[in-house]
């Protein structure tokens, strides 16, 4: 039988640089409350959100992705031509095909990198990091650009009490490359399709076309069951990610969960018994929930505010529609 050669990759992979782009328009709770019969106080108390960022028409998925990617490339200290794979995690690129990743790979000046989009909603960034790590270690890629980007303001129904105050826009990016030491721990990921309906597009495109009054498919959710699932089940997933990386909570420097709700973040930290020394990402207060972009955006703020340093050990955990989730421990660049 003819024997094929197989690819040999780097001994390990790590994140080399992280970048982010925040849209320019700041939207305080006061701008949202009238249409949903709510208050600034209620929103802050129930979700921790004070304000969010919504993109202007110029701040497209492509524009925000490129800005975040350029910042990640610069911080990683690599040439864009070294990037041979681009993965974009998003649910708000509204052209069914081609993948927006191909355009970003081109605009960034990669040398015809492999490029594709993934759809794992709020869990997308951690799915991308897991895939990038395995591609580098398996020999299929040298340097991978992972982008999480969303324009959820376009998919938000401003009259929906359960979601209008939550979702927001932005982009984050990471460069994953080869390493002599382990920099990305084993992923713990999965899905619970029995709960498919808890967070979803209210309509699909065929429903929109059939409607007399076509509107963008809106993202809707059943907040309370999602809240309970995220607070309790996800803490166990976080614990498994620590176990698989072979570390204990006291060895952790940073906890960077998907920015869904400040109370979910606190409930997870309590359930995992994280010591007070662990710095916790709280970007949601000023940024809202940006789905696939939320973890790199939160990390970017932690660096800016001195809560994260190069070499820190961080637990990333992302969860959302599907219900899909992914968690891993990483060494920060
Ligand atoms: C949406 C969320 C903040 C709502 O908080 P909650 O504590 O679950 O609130 P409930 O839905 O149980 O509603 C509690 C009360 O507030 C009211 N309420 C609901 N939405 C409201 C709003 N926007 N403003 C004011 N009151 C509101 C309800 O009517 C209810 O009133 P009642 O007690 O008189 O019946 C919370 O469920 C959540 O964050 N869920 C997870 C969302 C998430 O993470 N999604 C993305 C995952 S990727």
Q: How far is the CA of 250 from the centre of ligand 1 (A)?
A: 33
Question: To test ligand 1's pocket by mutation, which of 50, 192, 223 has the most ligand atoms within 8 angstroms of CB?
Answer: 223
DSSP string, 241-284: HHHHHT--GGG--EEEE--S-HHHHHHHHHHTT--TTSEE--TH
Question: 3.40.50.300, 1.10.10.60, 3.30.70.60, 3.40.47.10: which CATH number matches 12-179?
Answer: 3.40.47.10
Q: And the tokens for 180?
A: 């002599």
Q: How far is the CA of 308 from the centre of ligand 1 (A)?
A: 31
**pLDDT tens by residue, 95-125:** 989 999 999 999 999 999 999 999 999 999 9
Q: Which atom of ligand 1 is nearest to the CA of 226?
A: 41
Q: How far is the CA of 227 from the centre of ligand 1 (A)?
A: 9
Which residues are tagged catalytic?
122, 258, 289
Q: Which atom of ligand 1 is nearest to the CA of 319?
A: 48
Q: What is the pLDDT of residue 180?
A: 96
Mean pLDDT value of segment 59-66: 98
**pLDDT tens by residue, 248-295:** 999 999 999 999 999 999 999 999 999 999 999 999 999 999 999 999
Domain(s) labelled CATH 3.40.47.10 in the chain stretch across 12-179, 188-331
Whether omega before 323 lies within 30 degrees of 0, making that bond cis, reads yes
Q: Who lines ligand 1 at CB under 6 A?
A: 36, 38, 42, 46-47, 122, 161-162, 165, 199, 221, 223-224, 226-227, 230, 260-261, 264, 289, 320
What is the percentage of the chain residues whose pLDDT exceeds 70? 100
Dihedral angle sign, alpha carbons of residues 292, 294, 300, 302:
negative
Q: And the tokens for 276?
A: 């007070």
Contact 138, 7 (CB under 8 A): yes
Q: How far is the CA of 101 from the centre of ligand 1 (A)?
A: 35
Q: Which atom of ligand 1 is nearest to the CA of 291?
A: 48
> DSSP character for 49?
-
> DSSP character for 184?
B
Considering only residues 213 and 144, tell me which one the structure prediction assigns the higher pLDDT.
144
Q: Give rounded-to-5 percent helix, strand, coil for the chain.
A: 40, 25, 35
Q: Which of 118, 113, 117 is nearest to 140 (CA)?
A: 113
Q: And the tokens for 69?
A: 């990617």
Contact 307, 254 (CB under 8 A): yes
Mean pLDDT value of segment 214-233: 92
Question: To test ligand 1's pocket by mutation, which of 148, 224, 260, 317 has the most ligand atoms within 8 angstroms of CB?
Answer: 224
Mean pLDDT value of segment 185-205: 95
Give nearest CA residue, ligand 1 atom 7.
Answer: 46
Instruction: List, in sequence order, every residue forming a beta bridge with 36; answer none if it has no partner.
Output: none
DSSP string, 113-174: -EEEEE--GGGHHHHHHHHHHHHHHHTS-SEEEEEEEEEGGGG--TT-TTTTTTB-EEEEEE
Question: Which CATH superfamily, name and number, covers 188-331?
Answer: Thiolase/Chalcone synthase (3.40.47.10)
Residues found in the chain: 333
What is the SS3 assignment for 232?
Answer: helix
**pLDDT tens by residue, 318-330:** 999 999 999 999 9
What is the percentage of the chain residues whose pLDDT exceeds 90? 95
- The mean predicted confidence, pLDDT, of the chain is 97
What are the angstrom distances between the C-alpha of 290 and each of 54, 188, 253? 10, 22, 23
Q: What is the pLDDT of residue 14?
A: 98
pLDDT bracket for residue 203 (50, 70, 90): confident
CA atoms of 266 and 280, how far apart (whole Å)? 9
Full strand arrangement of the beta sheet holding 324-331: 188-191, 324-331, 313-320, 254-257, 279-280
Q: Which atom of ligand 1 is nearest to the CA of 289?
A: 46
Q: How far is the CA of 163 from the centre of ligand 1 (A)?
A: 9
**pLDDT tens by residue, 72-103:** 999 999 999 999 999 999 999 999 899 999 99
pLDDT bracket for residue 215 (50, 70, 90): confident
Look up the pTM and report it.
Answer: 0.96
**pLDDT tens by residue, 252-262:** 999 999 999 99
Give nearest CA residue, ligand 1 atom 43.
Answer: 260
Residue 201 phi/psi, 5° resolution? Answer: -65, 130
Q: What is the pLDDT of residue 244?
A: 98
Q: How far is the CA of 118 from the centre of ligand 1 (A)?
A: 29
Q: Which atom of ligand 1 is nearest to the CA of 258?
A: 48
């Amino acid at each position: 039988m003819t024997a094929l050669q197989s690819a040999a990759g780097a001994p390990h992979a790590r994140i080399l640089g992280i970048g982010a782009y925040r849209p320019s328009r700041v939207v305080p709770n006061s701008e949202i409350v009238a249409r949903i019969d709510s208050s600034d106080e209620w929103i802050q108390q129930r979700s921790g959100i004070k304000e969010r960022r919504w993109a202007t028409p110029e701040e497209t998925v492509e524009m925000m992705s490129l800005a975040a990617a350029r910042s990640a490339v610069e911080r990683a200290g690599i040439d864009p031509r070294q990037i041979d794979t681009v993965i974009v995690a998003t649910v708000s690129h509204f052209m069914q095909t081609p993948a927006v990743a191909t355009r970003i790979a081109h605009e960034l000046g990669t040398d015809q990198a492999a490029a594709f989009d993934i759809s794992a909603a709020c869990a997308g960034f951690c799915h991308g990091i897991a895939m990038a790590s395995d591609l580098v270690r398996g020999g299929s890629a040298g340097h991978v650009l992972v982008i999480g980007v969303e324009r959820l303001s376009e998919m938000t129904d401003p009259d929906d009490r359960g979601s209008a105050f939550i979702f927001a826009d932005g982009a984050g990016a990471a460069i994953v490359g080869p390493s002599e030491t382990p920099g990305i721990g084993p992923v713990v990921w999965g899905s619970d399709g029995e709960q498919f309906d808890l967070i979803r597009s209210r309509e699909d495109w065929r429903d929109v076309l059939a409607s007399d009054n076509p509107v963008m498919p809106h993202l809707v959710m059943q907040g309370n069951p999602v809240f309970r699932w995220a607070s309790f089940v996800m803490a166990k997933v976080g614990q498994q990610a620590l176990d698989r990386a072979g570390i204990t909570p006291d060895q952790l420097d940073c906890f960077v969960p998907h920015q869904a709700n400040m109370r979910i973040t606190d409930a997870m930290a309590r359930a995992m018994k994280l010591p007070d020394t662990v710095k916790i990402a709280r970007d949601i207060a000023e940024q809202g929930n940006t789905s696939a972009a939320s973890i790199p955006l939160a990390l970017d703020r932690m660096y800016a505010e001195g809560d994260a340093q190069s070499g820190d050990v961080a637990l990333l955990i992302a969860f959302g529609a599907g219900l899909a989730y992914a968690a891993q421990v990483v060494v920060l660049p």
